[in-house]
Amino acid sequence: MYEDLKDKVVIITGGNSGIGKATSERFGKEGSKVVIGYLDHVEEAEKVVQTIKDAGSDAIAIKADVSIEEDIKNLIQQTHEKFGRIDVLINNAGFEKPIPTHEMSLAEWSKVIDINLTGAFIGSREVINYYLEHDIKGQIINTASVHDVIPWPNYVNYAASKGGLKLMMETMSMEYGKNGIRINNISPGAIVTEHTREKFSDPATREETLEMIPLNEIGEADQVANINVFLASEQASYIHGTTLYVDGGMTNYPAFMG
- Residues in contact with ligand NAD, counted by CB under 6 A, come to a total of 26
User: Contact with ligand NAD (CB under 6 A): which of 67, 118, 223, 243?
Assistant: 67
User: Contact with ligand NAD (CB under 6 A): which of 143, 223, 228, 233?
Assistant: 143
Other Cβ atoms within 10 Å of 151 Cβ, number: 11
- Is 183 among the residues that bind ligand NAD (CB under 6 A)? no
Q: Could you confirm whether 158 is annotated as catalytic? A: yes
- Is 89 among the residues that bind ligand NAD (CB under 6 A)? no
Q: Among 154, 148, 182, which residue's Cα sits nearest to residue 167?
A: 148
162, 145 in Cβ contact below 8 A? yes
Q: Return the number of the residue (86 or 93) whose C-beta is nearest ligand NAD.
A: 93
Give the Cα-Cα-Cα angle 60, 118, 27 (nearest 5 degrees): 30
Q: Which of residues 198-257 bind ligand NAD (CB under 6 A)?
A: none
Residue 3 burial (10 A CB sphere; 0-12, 13-18, 19+): exposed
Q: Return the number of the residue (119 or 138) whose C-beta is nearest ligand NAD.
A: 119
Q: Which of residues 37-66 bind ligand NAD (CB under 6 A)?
A: 39-40, 65-66
User: Contact with ligand NAD (CB under 6 A): which of 48, 52, 90, 93?
Assistant: 93
How far apart are the C-alpha atoms of 31 and 2, rounded to whole Å? 9
How far apart are the C-alpha atoms of 60 and 79, rounded to whole Å? 8
- Is 163 among the residues that bind ligand NAD (CB under 6 A)? no
Task: Say which of 38, 130, 155, 158 is annotated catalytic.
Answer: 158
- Is 164 among the residues that bind ligand NAD (CB under 6 A)? no
User: Contact with ligand NAD (CB under 6 A): which of 138, 164, 188, 248?
Assistant: 188
Cα–Cα distances (Å) from 153 to 97, 158, 192, 254, 257, in that order, read 12, 10, 21, 17, 9
In the shown chain, the binding pattern of residues 18 to 37 toward ligand NAD, with x for contact by CB under 6 A and - for none, equals: xxx-----------------
Q: In the complex, what is the shortest distance from the CB of residue 221 to ligand NAD, in angstroms, rounded to a whole number?
A: 6
**H helices of the chain, where?**
18-29, 42-54, 69-83, 106-112, 119-134, 156-176, 197-201, 203-210, 221-232
DSSP 45: H
* Among 149-157, 169-177, 193-201, 232-240, the segment contacting ligand NAD (CB under 6 A): 193-201
Sign of CA dihedral 152, 153, 156, 157: negative
Q: In the complex, what is the shortest distance from the CB of residue 184 to ligand NAD, in angstroms, rounded to a whole number?
A: 15
How far apart are the C-alpha atoms of 160 and 152, rounded to whole Å? 11
User: Contact with ligand NAD (CB under 6 A): which of 79, 118, 139, 145?
Assistant: 145
Applying CB under 6 A, the residues found at the interface with ligand NAD are 13-14, 16-20, 39-40, 65-67, 92-96, 115, 143, 145, 188, 190-191, 193, 195-196
Active-site positions?
Answer: 158
